[in-house]
Chain A
């Protein structure tokens, strides 16, 4: 039933209300894993490999075990009966090495867990780590993926001497024909360097075993509590109904907490073993070593076009640095890149060849954007290279090739269907807002005076709102339960697991409007497998589109029940519920929700064939992904003497479909841009030739600080998605996806008159300085 009455109360959706999460976050009253204290708590600390590749000749744990306060030390042999760290992806020729929770007879990366020490005190545990004697026999290692592919490179896993972890080929159209017909073909090698996701809260787990009823409670800093429960159940051999997983307050994840990490399962294993609660929290240094990294691509692009700028086809070879083991979704990362290779452009011929490569490094996996930033960086760089080759304006070149608004839904050669969009309109808006032609003029004038100013454009399309279930290993739906308490207050339980996104706020806004109740009467619960029916979790910009839709559907179902009760109380057969009140359409008599609610629970009489209580659960399986898009423009200036880059302006115009809360959308764009800009200018995970991690601290890993991020101007267009009834798309990853090509394009543009066509990230002053010194030739 649809209720389409005009509202008396203020509409919440669309309002920039402040985040309801923030008071607890900014007053330090939120409860993170580290804040959980249980009686009898013990502490685990992990002994990690200092070598990228070595045979373990022996481990002597005696001294550690005898250290006062140490309860146990576990090594590989103690856990070899447990399941492996899972990889949930299947590809035809995927090679999955057995990934034990602790190293067995070999270590494969610096930071590889070798043993775990348990003590009654965290300080004792830290001391005892140093007392575990591991005898290593180092062997040759390889850290660069292209080196790992060469003949004679050390084999990461002896059974696969070629170091190929998987291959994945996907093609659409007729790429050979396109290239044969082309007037011009531009080629570039483009690197998307490894990044550290850098969630503010490091990973951590607390596990507590109840030996009486043989149940295990696990608190973990995770984005996917329900899936973690399933995975952990498999690893531990403990059925799910005996296992409760709670994601308490989670201080960011950016994809890095969409995993089952060895330490999470080890903590649980130890709690069961010693019968005491166990806490393990990662140090920042170990976070760099042993939390997944993002990106890690070396890509070879070839773009074919006509002289007039019409793009015809694209060939791409993607080399994905896997690391030594797959984590949960590692092989999916480059396949996601493949889906977005054509960007917003309408050419139909694409040939993509992916090779995943084992290296002696920590695994790569999901990091904000996950596969899409790499693809967007590639195509948006190539468009600029083509524009330079043809001497065309990059705005004109893009507009000439965009998928036109009349073509939606648009089937791409990569087999996905873009839901809705108006790409030229958003670029026009950005170009106009930034004053593009004026800037071009300034640039010309500046060059006369030796100033190196650049204007960078990036347009992007993103695949998000994950997603239809066939695209995901554990379902792509989401769930919601909505319960009207006897008092008339509302409890929402959602299967998504937000960790900083502000979902409690947006979901309260949605529920307030749908139910016509005051926003303060709503609370949103999530992240506990015992309170929330079931869920998939938070990643891939899916909370609002998928979880929010489940919420709307649950409320709509609930409203039917409210009307059944309203009709019963009003003794009518024709009632409408709106704005918190049920009205008899014949007599005009009303009964408020506050009165219906207690009667629905307490009776004493109930409507015929109706169950007590106002509660409804619904699940939403999206029919498609959603495809946000946008145009970002950056104005930068290069210091010719030192190569330093100053960002003079950053304009982000995004279309994330219907906006629930503009404040939160802006916040997501700001944070996303900061991370994309971090990749463009500063951040890189560096392993040296010997496989050691060089950037193991924030003293060397250059995460941008507030003062290094420019003012970000934001604007929007709003093209509703037809995929879900809310019309929302998603905005969690957009900023990150757009920012790196926008920034790099601006700097390349600043140096274009010197013949510079491409610069790999991060754009360190030294790289730029060298290009300027050499007059552009790299």
Chain B
């Protein structure tokens, strides 16, 4: 469990970090909860590791222009316990509290989880339901990517090798919106066999907005737009919810592994979708 030799840099600013990345191939280190185990198992052997851990700018929490800006380096614990996040973006705070154990929550970061794009990670479900935007910075420029274009495949995102995630941009939740994250844990790792994040807004006895993000079921997290469409305009009765939830795995190529077959995952996804929506209503 000893990684291969590597060079290590610890820049103090985003500028320095992206300069280093522009200089040659390097791997960014945030909380290290995913990268370090891979390096120890020698499944990943970067020659140069750029540690973002000391860049104060990346732990910003700010409300700007009706959105919440969360620095990539915020730990899961910080997101779960921030009063501002709890108030303005309760789904993300709730989801963060479901991740791993307290050691992992104290080390692992929002940006790291997004960049790692583990098919079973929790955040991606919430980020999809929140229609988050991801700001990517590279030497001399930056761009903002919609979450729908961000998760490309298992462990693959839109982040280019010379880019870092600086922050995530999330909507400030309007009043009248209920949220919930429901997860069946894989018993060994604690990751999600299936995790469902739901945001539901009701007005005048009808659902006016529904967003459902799903993780664990397929290679990447996704928005279950079929479920959302069936919910919106409905009264949100138990039958409405059940009918909508049944659409969660439509057209999805479900994962099968040691812990759950694809059939079981699909079934659990429907159950947990219904539960997340019920809890959000």
Contact = CB atoms under 8 A, between A and B. Distances in A.
A443 interface: no
B271 interface: yes
Given A130-B42, A644-B184, A695-B258, A769 B1 contact: no
B189 interface: yes
Contacts of B267: 642, 769
B60 interface: no
Contacts of B258: 686, 694-695, 700
B155 to A, nearest CB: 14
Nearest to A45: B2
Interface string A269-305: 0000000000000011100000000000000000000
Nearest to B190: A705
Interface stretch (A120-128, A244-252, A311-319, A460-468): A120-128
A702 B188 contact: yes
Nearest to A770: B264
Nearest to A708: B187
A701 B2 contact: no
Contacts of A704: 187
B75 to A, nearest CB: 20
Nearest to A640: B271
Contacts of A602: none
A708 B259 CA distance: 17
Contacts of A644: 184
Interface in A438-480: none
A209 B7 CA distance: 37
A703 interface: yes
Contact of B187 (A122, A127, A694, A702): A702
Interface in B243-281: 258-261, 264, 267-268, 271-272
Contacts of B4: 127
B5 interface: yes
A7 B274 CA distance: 68
Contacts of A701: 188
A691 to B, nearest CB: 15
B101 interface: yes
B41 interface: yes
A682 B258 CA distance: 12
Contact of B261 (A681, A699, A766): A766
Interface string A735-778: 00000000000000000000000000000111001100000000
A764 B259 contact: yes
A201 B133 CA distance: 44
A703 B5 contact: no
A682 B272 CA distance: 21
A700 B42 contact: no
Interface residues of A, number: 30
B188 A700 contact: yes
Contacts of B264: 765-766, 769-770
Contacts of B190: 705
Contacts of B186: 702
A200 to B, nearest CB: 15
A21 interface: no
Contacts of B188: 682, 695, 698-703
Interface in A676-710: 681-682, 686, 694-695, 698-705, 708
Contact of B1 (A127, A284, A641, A765): A284
A59 to B, nearest CB: 20
Contact of A642 (B42, B189, B261, B268): B268
A642 B263 CA distance: 12
A127 B268 contact: no
A703 B186 CA distance: 11
A675 B17 CA distance: 47
Contacts of A641: 271
A700 B257 CA distance: 10
Interface in A113-135: 122-123, 126-127, 130
B184 A285 contact: no
A641 B182 CA distance: 14
A378 B99 CA distance: 38
B184 A766 contact: no
B18 to A, nearest CB: 30
A704 B1 CA distance: 23
A694 B190 CA distance: 17
Contact of B101 (A123, A126, A681, A705): A705
Contacts of A123: 2, 5
B184 A126 contact: no
A604 B234 CA distance: 102
B4 to A, nearest CB: 7
Contact of B189 (A122, A699, A765): A699
B126 to A, nearest CB: 21
Contacts of A769: 264, 267-268
A645 to B, nearest CB: 11
Contact of A285 (B1, B187, B271): B1
Interface in A494-543: none
Contacts of A122: 2
A212 B1 CA distance: 36
A644 B259 CA distance: 13
Contacts of A682: 187-188
A686 B264 CA distance: 19
Interface string B193-223: 0000000000000000000000000000000
Contacts of A765: 184, 260, 264, 268
A488 to B, nearest CB: 47
A130 B188 CA distance: 29
Contacts of A700: 188-189, 258-259
A701 B4 CA distance: 25
Give the residue among B42, B187, B261 with the most A Cβ atoms within 10 A. Answer: B187
A701 B187 CA distance: 8
Nearest to B4: A127
Contact of A127 (B5, B41, B260, B261): B5
Interface in A619-660: 641-642, 644
A210 B19 CA distance: 55
A252 B174 CA distance: 54
A642 B1 contact: no
A701 B188 CA distance: 6
Contacts of A681: 187
Interface string B2-32: 1011000000000000000000000000000
Interface in B27-49: 41-42
A747 to B, nearest CB: 15
Nearest to B270: A641
Interface in B88-102: 101
B161 to A, nearest CB: 25
Nearest to A688: B258
B258 to A, nearest CB: 6
Nearest to A766: B264
Nearest to B260: A766
A123 B5 CA distance: 9
B47 to A, nearest CB: 14
A526 B188 CA distance: 36
Interface in B43-79: none
A285 B2 CA distance: 11
A701 B186 CA distance: 10
A642 B261 CA distance: 13
Nearest to A130: B42
Contacts of A705: 101, 190
A700 B120 CA distance: 13
Give the residue among A686, A695, A769 with the most B Cβ atoms within 10 A. Answer: A769
Given A695-B188, A699-B189, A704-B187, 6 more contacts: A122-B2, A695-B258, A700-B259, A705-B101, A705-B190, A766-B260
A-B pairs, top 3 by smallest CB distance, nearest first, are A702-B188, A702-B187, A126-B2
Interface of B: 1-2, 4-5, 41-42, 101, 184, 186-190, 258-261, 264, 267-268, 271-272
16 contacts: A122-B2, A130-B42, A284-B1, A285-B1, A285-B41, A642-B268, A642-B272, A682-B187, A686-B258, A695-B258, A698-B188, A700-B188, A703-B188, A708-B187, A765-B264, A766-B260
